Amino acid sequence: MFSTTLSSGASLRPLEPWRAEEFAAHLDRAREHIRPWVGPSFVTVDVAGARATLGLYAERAARDGAGIYGIWAEGVLVGGVMFVEFSPATGVFEIGCWLEPDGEGHGHITSAVRELLAYAFDERGMHRAEWRCRSDNHRSSAVARRLGMTLEGVLREAWPVGDVFYDKQVWSLLASEWRVASAAQVRDHHDRHEHAG
């Protein structure tokens, strides 16, 4: 139900509070892998913590239409994408993501983030997407680059982990750039089918 098939073959669905047990089991597989790179409140340790995270996103989804979405590969929840911020008043939103180790390297995130960009820009008329990551998070910045985002700058020592302060990159994509990129993608798709046909 309410599922989108990603170009990677995985499924993208809303990650709702009733899935807390499944989300907690997934976090058991993902926790140490994601801990250095995501906000500490996301790295919960039990079902109650997992339910609290999903509850928070459900409240925000009811308020402004943002949300958190899981990625299932062959029936297993392997990660997801979310609107970390979503402000219809300013047109600005921020996308975040995570995967357990087995979920990496298949293109799930790049494809899932495209779905969120399409929803935010095309359906909601949003104006500016942001992507924030630790400057040494090369896999994360590779996703932003792959999606055609621009690296706007580095917030120096803005990402504390324990007693170390890491630099934080800010990437963005504007609605006008999204329209150009998605038109090019449609052309590409069309050309490939013409040649195959």
Ligand X SMILES: CC(C)(COP(=O)(O)OP(=O)(O)OC[C@H]1O[C@@H](n2cnc3c(N)ncnc32)[C@H](O)[C@@H]1OP(=O)(O)O)[C@@H](O)C(=O)NCCC(=O)NCCS
In angstroms, give the least distance from the CB of 189 to ligand X.
Answer: 13
Element (H, E) at 178: helix 175-196
114 binds ligand X (CB under 6 A): no
Quick check: 59 and 43 in contact, CB under 8 A?
Answer: no
What is the spatial distance between Cα 27 and Cα 98, in angstroms, rounded to a whole number? 10
- Out of 20, 66, 77, 97, the residue judged to bind ligand X by CB under 6 A: 97
Q: Which CB atom, from 8 or from 87, has the smaller least distance to ligand X?
A: 8
Reported as half-sphere exposure (CB side, CA atoms, 13 A), residue 8 has a value of: 21
Q: What angle do CA 82, 121, 83 make, to 5 degrees?
A: 15
Q: Which CB atom, from 69 or from 98, has the smaller least distance to ligand X?
A: 98
In angstroms, give the least distance from the CB of 151 to ligand X.
Answer: 13
Count of residues that interact with ligand X, criterion CB under 6 A: 23
Query: Residue 96 CB: number of other CB atoms within 10 A?
Result: 22
Contacting range for ligand X; rule: CB under 6 A; set: 29-37, 84-92, 151-159, 171-179: 29-37
Residues of the shown chain interacting with ligand X in the complex, contacts defined by CB under 6 A: 7-8, 33-34, 37-38, 96-99, 104-110, 133, 137, 139-140, 142-143
